Structure formats: C-alpha cells, structure tokens
C-alpha cells in the first residue's frame, strides 16, 4: 500500500492535534522510510518481477527488520516514545497516536502484500489483494478519503484551508494513480530512492497543510 497509508495519518492528527501532520506522515511511512534505506544499503532485499501482481511488481522476499511483526511493533514503540518525549505534555496520548500510526502501516500492508510479512521465523503473512488492482486501488483511495474526512471534521481550518486540504488529497490520489498506471519499475535502487524522496516531499507538503489550520485552543 502507498497513498492509503496517509488515511491513518490524517485520523491520527484528528485524534491528537498537538502532533504536527508532517510527523504523522513520517509515522505512517516510517517502516517504508527505513525499508528504502536498508534496501539501498543492501541489507533488506527485493527484486522486480514484471507482472508479479497487478498492484505491484516487487518481490519483497527479505525484509525481516522493517516489515516483520516484531520489527513493526518495535519501530512503533520507538517512534511513539521519541515523539512523546519531544511532546512534553499529554505524552500518553501522543505516544499512543504515533505508535498506532506507525503500526497501521503493517496492518494495511498485510491486506495488500503477498505473504512476505514475517510473523515469526519461517511463517509469513499477507492477504495479497495487490493481485487485483480493481480491489487494491479503491482500497487505497477509500483509506485516504476516510482519514481525510475525519481530519476535516476534527481539525478547524483557517479561511480557505479546507479547499487547500482537498486539493492536497486530490494530489495524493493523483500520485497513487500515476504509481498504479505509470511506467513500470526498472531498477531497485531507483524504486527505493523514489520512495524515499516521495515520502520526504509529501511530509514536507503536509507541514505546509498544517499552516492552513487554525491554532488549537488548549485542546489535545
Ligand atoms: Zn511497507
């Protein structure tokens, strides 16, 4: 899953408004950010198999650190603890929201990936909905839209903020469509680098979206 991961980021921000949206954007892709780095470093491994699944050509045969159940849980706790420490107040809520945002990545990946997510030694899980683009693509967009809807209801906007916000959501959907129907992947290094850059740029854009929302008045 790609853009669908941002649904929980929006919902997480709606739940704990003291956390910047860009932090939530990093949280929901934290596993993939590290995956990109570890793939570029040659530590986690993937190969491109054209036509493997309609939704993805990536054979993710070795990613025990970032995408195993234990790895995901550890990264969720680590990220949640770091942000809670930085938060200073309402730390329990911040920890819970950020850790849940990180772990939501694993749950959504579980739905679309082939069985490549390690549960424990030798046992891997994945429901494989990437096999059917007509199922996986709407799922991405539904997750994104549901999160966005919760966000708009809970996070007050400055004047024009909601218009800008829905423009941003449309941009995210367009990025997903480009990924689904654009030119196929040709190199692993290229794929990992593109993912890394995309996650960073989108988190930056989320920081700009934060500027279009009203300051919170003492709430969480
Ligand atoms: Zn992932």
Q: How far is the CA of 116 from the centre of ligand 1 (A)?
A: 11
Q: How far is the CA of 7 from the centre of ligand 1 (A)?
A: 14
Q: How far is the CA of 156 from the centre of ligand 1 (A)?
A: 31
Strand partners, 183: none
Mean pLDDT by 10 residues, the chain (220 residues): 96 95 98 98 96 93 96 98 92 96 98 95 93 95 97 92 95 94 90 96 96 70
Q: What is the pLDDT of residues 122-145, one digit of tens each?
A: 899 999 999 999 999 999 999 999
Q: How far is the CA of 89 from the centre of ligand 1 (A)?
A: 30
Other beta carbons within 10 angstroms of residue 36's beta carbon come to: 23
pTM here is 0.95
Distances (CA, A) of 127 to 108, 131, 162, 188, 197: 10, 10, 35, 24, 28
Q: How far is the CA of 160 from the centre of ligand 1 (A)?
A: 33
* Predicted pLDDT at 217: 57
Q: How far is the CA of 122 from the centre of ligand 1 (A)?
A: 19
Percent of the chain with pLDDT over 70: 98
* Predicted pLDDT at 185: 85
Q: How far is the CA of 200 from the centre of ligand 1 (A)?
A: 15
* Predicted pLDDT at 215: 77
Q: How far is the CA of 69 from the centre of ligand 1 (A)?
A: 12
Q: What is the pLDDT of residues 39-80, one digit of tens each?
A: 999 999 999 999 999 999 999 999 999 999 999 999 999 999
């Amino acid at each position: 899953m790609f853009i669908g991961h941002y649904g929980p980021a929006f919902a997480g921000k709606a739940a704990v408004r003291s956390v910047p949206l860009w932090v939530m954007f990093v949280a929901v892709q934290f596993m993939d950010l590290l995956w990109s780095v570890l793939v570029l470093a040659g530590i986690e491994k993937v190969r491109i198999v054209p036509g493997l699944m309609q939704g993805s050509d990536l054979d993710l045969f070795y990613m025990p650190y970032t995408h195993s159940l234990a790895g995901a849980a550890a990264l969720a706790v680590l990220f949640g603890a770091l942000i809670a420490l930085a938060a200073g107040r309402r730390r329990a809520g911040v920890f819970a929201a950020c850790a849940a945002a990180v772990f939501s990545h694993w749950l959504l990946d579980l739905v679309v990936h082939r069985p490549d997510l390690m549960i424990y030694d030798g046992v891997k899980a994945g429901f494989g909905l990437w096999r059917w683009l007509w199922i996986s693509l709407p799922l991405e967009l539904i997750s994104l839209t549901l999160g966005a809807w919760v966000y708009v209801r809970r996070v007050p906007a400055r004047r024009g903020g909601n218009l800008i916000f829905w423009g941003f959501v449309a941009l995210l959907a367009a990025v997903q469509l480009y990924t689904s129907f654009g030119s196929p992947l040709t190199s692993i290094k290229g794929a990992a680098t593109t993912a890394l850059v995309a996650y960073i740029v989108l988190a930056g854009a989320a920081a700009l979206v934060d500027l279009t929302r009203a300051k919170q008045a003492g709430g969480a």
